[in-house]
Chain A
């Protein structure tokens, strides 16, 4: 099991209702796990807790058997996160940003050149990586963020609405890469509003409402004989 979320509860204010309430779910190697919910359901909060960005009060999150609370560096070494809004270092060029990440993850010169070249070509960014990130469009920033996450070949890739802002070519390429990664033993945990994408792409799915898990399991278990959209609406309206 690559990701175990056990009884996660997160409150932003001491007295407020929890944004995520006693959430438990598991992601195995080879899974493309879709995390679905309405706006403000607690998806991003969960993803940010998983990646060690947010502290949380109750429960635990284990990545490859290690707790994000007690062994954050070990967890972060095998995880990469792509946020919904690609707020990257705007004063760096795309290439300098990727070099920075490669240094942080300790990639060799050979390996970083090979992987950056490969993904830059896939996402049609080879001739744009010399530009300042601050001067790039939203979609281009998103592509740089994705390349930055992929060069390290993470065991767990966490993404928040990864397809928003991507052009159709990049969107298709990302889906292909997600399949390749899971075939090689990595796991992908991502949130999305686009239920058609989730239905086609994911083998597992979880639905969250007001911080509470409504359903979780394989795609077939969750949707039954109806579409994911119908299943989602049924669960949400209960």
Chain B
């Protein structure tokens, strides 16, 4: 047991870079070492803020229909989707194929201890997000519905079990995908596609329960029945908090069982699965052939694209908006015209619909730019970029080009489809095409700046810089702010003109940032 806690402590120390902080020699090192803790605080504040806003507005809406008790169930369902999507992508690099696997397995520790410590760290990470998301809701719900005092300790205790089911399902799905493609030639590509299908499937299932707020107008039973059909533990959780101890017992039992099965299977198969997942395709009968020559920028771009596609977590984190956007736009253009037309008409948005379309497109295509982590992902190979005779600005351009390649073509196609389907005039079409492209460019440039300011090269797993680094978080926050601004202008003014003007301002800001980056590129590269 002592070894288990030592390993867990070590992983948490490494994750939070506590030793770096303790041994930092100057201000710059201290600032760098404080980044992970700062990042978790920011995540806590953001999630907490989102949760408070969402739970306060929801509890009012739900209580007006007499179904406030559904709030914990809705949150539990949302949390389950969030964790499952995250865990499918996260399993590789945290539970399996992690950097210090060889070192740990060579130590006189039992496989069970090593596996258990990894599972526990994996759970702790999920629990952190669970607490950040659920705690504010729990308090809001308790205060609003005047729950008795025993509710609060009960909520805290039950919350500990919430991540277990999504961790188990997401983890198993992630293992299945990784194992199925582990020996294939295009392993990463297949893994990315399979993960995409799974993630989209999970999202589709969760949305197929029907929009909660559309159904509120209906009857509470319908919502309850749908939640029961999709994710029954969410309802057991909600009922348990309201004093139905049978449901509570059922929730705890199923959660514990899920957690135990996951821990048991992973512990039993830890070594085998790690060996399987660390295997790689070996080209048989490889013969050297002539290859076509290309210029420096193209070579860098191809290298960046291959880097991007080599990491399923990276692709899912930054590219999920693309299929979602295409599905949403195709639905809006071919199947939902009547419904959307009705909503637009009810809200009096006819003249400003282009602005709303811009808002939706920018929201879908800019939220997680690839550039926020592309510099950090150079990792230990950074020496090559510094040593090769390439212009630093070409290196930056290749990174931005990848970001643009991922989202710009899809955004362009979606803009054209929307413009054609809703009969925008020439100027509206231009705005609908250009505004999303400008914001995509902006998010790429800003993402790169953020990553240059706060690079992280000494990662053990790619997931660290793709999902858990400050530049990614700040990139999302800045893009959220930009999207919020577009929404505000589009809905408040009911005109496309202010949105277009905002686009011009954002383009100017992007170009200024880009020019500064270009002029300082060599110095920035040398100091990385």
Contact = CB atoms under 8 A, between A and B. Distances in A.
Interface of A: 13-16, 48, 51-53, 55, 72-74, 76-77, 79, 81, 83, 85, 87-93, 95-96, 99-109, 112-113, 116-117, 120, 126-132, 134-135
Given A89-B384, A103-B293, A104-B389, A117 B303 contact: no
Given A112-B291, A116-B288, 10 more contacts: A13-B29, A73-B390, A74-B389, A79-B387, A87-B380, A87-B381, A88-B384, A90-B381, A100-B302, A107-B293
A116 B289 CA distance: 10
Contacts of B286: 95, 126-131
B381 A55 contact: no
Contacts of B25: 13, 16
11 contacts: A15-B26, A52-B387, A53-B386, A73-B391, A93-B283, A101-B388, A103-B293, A106-B296, A117-B288, A129-B286, A132-B281
A103 B294 contact: yes
Interface string B421-459: 000000000000000000000000000000000000000
Q: What 5 pairs across the A-B complex have the smallest Cβ distances? A: A130-B286, A130-B283, A103-B299, A91-B310, A76-B389
A54 to B, nearest CB: 8
Interface residues of B, number: 42
A36 to B, nearest CB: 22
A91 B306 contact: yes
Contacts of A102: 293
Contact of B299 (A90, A104, A116, A132): A104
Nearest to A78: B389
Contact of A103 (B26, B298, B526): B298
Contacts of A106: 293, 296
Contact of A92 (B291, B295, B306): B306
A51 B382 CA distance: 13
A93 B283 CA distance: 10
B292 interface: yes
A113 B388 contact: no
Contacts of A16: 25
Contact of A104 (B383, B390, B522): B390
Nearest to B311: A91
A102 B298 CA distance: 12
B290 interface: yes
B57 interface: no
A117 to B, nearest CB: 5
Interface in B341-398: 379-381, 383-384, 386-391
